[in-house]
Structure 1
Amino acid sequence: MAARRKANRILAAVLIPITLLTLAGMAMLWPSGSKEGISLANPYSAAPGVTFDTGTIQSVVTENCMQGAAQQGPTQQGQTQQNPGQGSDCTFAFTEPDKGGSPVKVVINPDVAKSHGVKAGDQIRYLNLSNAQGAPSSQGAPAYIFVDFVRTLPIVLLALLYAVVVIAVARWRGLRALIGLVGAYFVLASFMLPGLVEGKPPLLLALVGSTVIMIGVLYFAHGFSARTSTALLGTIFGLGITALLAAWATDAANLAGVGNHDATTLVNTSSNISITGVILCGLIISGLGVLNDVTITQSSAVWELYELAPASSARKLFTSAMRIGRDHIASTVYTIAFAYAGAALPILIIVMLYDRPLGETLTSAELSEEVIRTLVGSIGLVLAIPVTTLIAVLVVKATGVRPAAPAVGITETPVPGPGTTDGGRQLADDVDDTGSLAAAALEGRTRRASDGMDRAEGDNGAPTTRRGRRAADRG
């Protein structure tokens, strides 16, 4: 405990100024919350008399679009009415409103009907135009229009299952991680997003917000300890590298969000919003989770190896931990690449169908942002691993914990005390001889078991311990 307190004091001398500076920056950059000058129409706002209703589909039919819109009464399931002279076929869903009443005939969007389709039992949200002025049904247009599926139940079930699995496996720490995740999204929604809308500096906004998130999440989920502080220092270093690379790459690669419908919407919403700044902030935020993963893993690895063999040199400790880190680097690079590829899968398919050269495809406006996000995030986390490992080694060596070494010139081994054996005292020498921490630990356990057997066999009168044999030899 004394050694850990000493390590915490060393880390606090570095982390407290960083934390205070981050909080001061957050106070200076905190958005006002004003939405003045923003012109964005809410797609879910309705005109007088128009409402968004929900209901459950009872049956689905395919009918002529003009006739189907004119008929508001239900027909038999599967009935098809076609009149090529009056228009094409449309899909209609007879839906029972959740608020009660007779089933209504909801027209399904052609893209939904073709890609996913609807079936009986689906819960949907639809636009109710029947009470609007000049109801469209009287003009031959549909009075009920499909808007979206209601996904509340499956999402809630998945969220509950996720929480149960995390808490069952990680227990109290898993619960704290989930609560920390909620806090992280609060910082994102109340500080970073409004700040981007108001035109705050995106680089500072991303750095300050990400640092606050990591400080809160790491300490809340893993507790206040030297391990956590070491991981936090490595994470902050990785964030700095990622921010610098993201700022350079955004400007050098001219990432402007061209061709992105959402980016075009934001540009027309407010003159304060910079799409380049939004992309820059996104490049930094996207790597937070993986960066946190590798730094906390490396910090814990160094501590476990040190507790296994506290007399090992700093070089050997760093080398052993980096063997773990290199494996982690290899797997994490794949994780980032495949995560971004999965998110951009529709774009990948479209670009593939264009049959363009590979180099031109990867540097196109459609894929360049994903490629740069992968590269920037990967470089930041790869460099964070050796830095975190080095900081952890320096911290554990600065604690001053050392095994008791025998005095020079004394050949007799002291009597083992409770919980201490000859094999344990020779662990440091074993590390130097074998060059492997794991092998030294295994050999130490074997010797402890052997000493226990020797003491058990000592009842037969034969001196089996080394001290007993030396006494017998001198006698």
Structure 2
Amino acid sequence: MGAGHTHGPAAPSPRRTVLATLGVIVPLAVATLVALIWMWPASPEPAPQPSGGLQRLTGTIAHITLKPCPTPPPEDGVAAGEQPPPDPETCGDAKVQLTSGPHTGRHVVTGLPSGPGAQKFADGDDVLLIYAEEETLDAPPYRISDHDRTSPLWLAGAAFALAVIAFGRWRGLTALVGLAITFVLLLMFVIPAILAGQPPLLVAIVGAAGIMLSVLYLTHGFTVTTSVAIIGTLTSLALTGLLSYLAIDLVQLNGITDESSFYLDTSYRINTQGLLLASILIGTLGVLDDVTVTQSVTVAELAHANPGYTFRQLYRAAARVGRAHIASVINTIILAYAGASLPLLLLISVGDQGLGEILGTPVLAQEIVRSVVGTLGLIAAVPITTALAALTSTRNTPPAPRRSRHRRPIDDHLERHPTP
């Protein structure tokens, strides 16, 4: 190993660096806490019971009796015989044993869901049923609505938690606690606050700051390295928000691309454009913290291995790592958005439209803006975080003297071995 390498634990950060970092982190944490308390939504009122005495129950299919499918009635504009026949496995009755409600253990008989897109059921499947107190000829009291996925989801969650803890041990356990905090803030603050009428963009910023501060410190510890990653994440997130605002205004997107956003706009008067901004910020945060933590830790490790490195040397070495990381992350983002929009892409591909028309549709234009803005935010995170980390990791030691171009080898020998 060269003379510039050291071994053992990393040296503690200089007092000046710690104080400067605290001078940024403490006001940020206080502002986030105050905003969370001020904007925290009030407890929602109990939801009214569905009209008609509808109840949601669970049950297990004991036996299925298939029957011939009836001929569907002709539709307007569709010739007889051209309509797709129903799936034979969706026609018949199911005997279901109730596992919840006042009649637990009782067996009831109900028809299988049929029609386009109907799910298939088999003996032993756990199902969800809708119970109506008033029975009519057209609507039996018990109707199967969906599969009951509670047990499989709990099993998948347990397998995930065990794998994370087995591999990460204590760090894996803290990561799971951080994941729980993320879900709590999303489900109990971000979503209820937006539904309560708070500005979606402001809610996303406060929620993202709360997630970032709690999760990163819990997972990576209260260190200068983590603090630098948080500052880099916040700065990059602010830049992403600004770019998102400009891009949405430039492309003229209003955030309404499907039935869900249309319903939120018409029924709850939610600012769908602000909701789009909030979704971009929250989605970008999930990748930003990975990039910033990686850059901050990389600089710290380089500074530990080479204490004589200058700011420029640290920055250039860590930036090379960041460029390789960004190259792979960009592909990940594009593939993630493509996978989520795959049914839409297939539907558009079968239509007789040009590429310009396809890309100009609101749905694809929104995903393009989301991908481009998120990528620009990630690219900006590398130099920002790397520069901050190199600034806090550079030692206050003079650089090694440079060798003169006209210096003779004997001069170096005499300096290393002076004569008495």
**TM-score normalised by L of structure 1:** 0.73
Instruction: Name which of 25, 32, 35 aligns with 2:35.
Output: 25
CA RMSD of aligned residues (A): 3.0
Specify the code of the residue in structure 2 equivalent to 1:104: V
Matched, 1:104 2:139: no
Query: Which amino acid in structure 2 is aligned with residue 16 of structure 1?
Result: V
Whole-angstrom CA distance in 1 between matches of 2:349 and 2:48: 35
Query: 2:55: which partner in 1?
Result: 51
What pairs with 1:406-445 in structure 2 (closer than 5 Å)?
Answer: none
Identity of matched residues, %? 35
- The alpha-carbon deviation at position 197 of structure 1 amounts to 1.8
Displacement of 1:118: 1.8
Name the CA shift for 1:210/1:373 in 2 (closer, same or farther; >3 Å): same
CA shift digits 1:120-143 (9 cap, x unpaired): 2221111233xx23x12xx25444
Structure 2 residue 370 is the aligned partner of structure 1 residue 373: yes
What is the alpha-carbon distance in structure 2 between the residues aligned to residue 412 and residue 6 of structure 1? Answer: 35
Where does structure 1 differ by over 6 angstroms across 4 or more consecutive aligned residues?
Answer: 401-405
Give 1:126's aligned residue.
129
Measure how far apart 1:202 and its partner are: 2.5
- Find out whether 1:203 has 2:208 as its counterpart: no
Give the Cα separation in 2 of the matches to 1:7 and 1:369.
42
Higher Rg:
1
C-alpha contact (below 8 Å) 2:93/2:109 kept by paired residues: no
Residue of structure 1 in register with 2:358 after alignment: 361
* Mean CA deviation greater in 318-327 or 140-149: 140-149
Distance change in 2, residues 1:150/1:267 (3 Å):
same
Contact 1:29–1:195, Cα closer than 8 Å, also in 2: yes
Paired residues of 2:256 and 2:272 also in contact (CA < 8 A): no
Larger helix proportion of the pair: 1
In structure 1, C-alpha distance between the alignment counterparts of 2:414 and 2:21, rounded to whole Å: 41
Change (3 A) 1:347 1:400: same
Distance 1:204-1:259 versus aligned 2 partners, 3 A rule: closer
Q: Name 2:313's counterpart in structure 1.
A: 316
Q: Secondary structure at the match of 1:120?
A: coil
Q: Deviations over 1:371-400 (max 9, x none)?
A: 211111111111001110111100001x53
Mapped to 1, the partners of 2:337 and 2:299 lie a distance apart of: 30
In the TM superposition, residue 412 of structure 1 has moved relative to its aligned partner by: 7.5
Deviation (angstroms), 1:46: 5.6
Equivalent pair of 1:52/1:128 in contact (CA under 8 Å): yes
**CA–CA distance in structure 2, aligned partners of residues 123 and 401 of structure 1:** 68
Cross-structure match for 2:76? none
Residues 402-429 of structure 1, C-alpha deviations (whole Å, 9 max, x = no match): 7999xx999576xxxxxxxxxxxxxxxx
Residue 59 of structure 1 contacts residue 93 of structure 1 at CA under 8 Å; is this kept in 2?
Answer: yes
Alpha-carbon distance in 2 for matches of 1:6, 1:382 = 29
Q: Is the 8 A contact 1:33 1:194 kept in 2?
A: no
1:392 maps onto 2:389 in alignment: yes
The alignment status of 1:336 with 2:321, answered yes or no, reads no
**C-alpha offsets along residues 297-331 of structure 1, whole Å, 9 cap, x if unaligned?**
01111111111111122222211111110110011
Distance 1:41 1:362 in 2: 42
The partner residue of 2:219 within 218, 221, 235 is 221
* 1:96–1:268 distance in 2 versus 1, CA, 3 Å: same
Give 1:214 shift: 0.4
Give deviations 1:436-469, integer Å, cap 9, x for gaps: xxxxxxxxxxxxxxxxxxxxxxxxxxxxxxx9xx
- Counterpart secondary structure, 1:286: helix
Report the more deviating stretch, 161-170 or 120-129: 120-129
Say if 1:310 and 1:402, in contact at 8 Å, map to a contact too: no
Measured in 2, the distance between the counterparts of 1:402 and 1:155 equals 58
- Whether the aligned pair in 1 keeps the contact of 2:225 and 2:300 (CA below 8 Å) is yes
Task: Find the aligned partners of 1:105 and 1:369 in 2 and give their Cα distance.
Answer: 43
Deviation at 1:218, TM superposition (A): 0.6
Residues 199 and 271, structure 2, Cα contact 8 Å, conserved in 1: no
CA contact (8 A) 1:60 1:120 kept: yes
| SS of structure 1 residue aligned to 2:59 | strand
Please give the per-residue CA displacement for 1:76-112, whole angstroms capped at 9, x wherever unaligned.
xxxxxxxxxxx98734333232221234233214234
Residue equivalent to 1:94:
95
In structure 2, the CA distance between the partners of 1:403 and 1:410, relative to structure 1 (3 Å rule), is farther
SS at match of 2:362: coil
Aligned counterpart, 2:142: 144
Aligned to 1:158: 156
CA distance in 2, matches of 1:264, 1:221: 38
Counterpart Cα distance in 1 of 2:205 and 2:138: 56
**Equivalent position amino acid for 2:327 in 1:** A
Q: Give CA-to-partner distance per residue, 1:264-299, whole Å, 9 cap, x none.
A: 22123223x211221111111111111000000011
2:238 counterpart of 1:237: no
1:51 Cα deviation from its structure 2 partner: 3.0
**Counterparts of 1:16 and 1:53 in 2: how far apart (Å)?**
49
- State the SS of the aligned residue for 2:235: helix
Question: Do the aligned residues in 2 keep the contact of 1:203 with 1:247 (CA within 8 Å)?
Answer: no
How far the C-alpha of 1:166 sits from its partner, in A, is 1.0
Q: Secondary structure at the match of 2:352?
A: coil
Contact 2:96 2:109 in 1 (8 A): yes
Gap regions ≥5 residues in structure 1: 68-86, 414-466
Structure 1 residues 274 and 109, CA, compared in 2 at 3 Å: closer, same or farther? farther
Please tell me whether the aligned partners of residues 236 and 381 of structure 2 are also in contact (alpha carbons under 8 angstroms): yes
In structure 2, the gaps of 5 or more residues are 1-10, 72-84, 402-410
Amino acid across the alignment from 1:384: A
CA contact (8 A) 1:92 1:107 kept: yes
| Deviation for aligned residue 1:5 | 4.7
Q: Which residue of 2 aligns with 1:418?
A: none
Structure 1 residues 358 and 21: CA distance shift in structure 2, 3 A: same
Query: How many angstroms does 1:339 deviate by?
Result: 1.2
Cα deviation per residue 1:141-162 (whole Å; 9 max; x = unaligned)?
4443221111111111111111
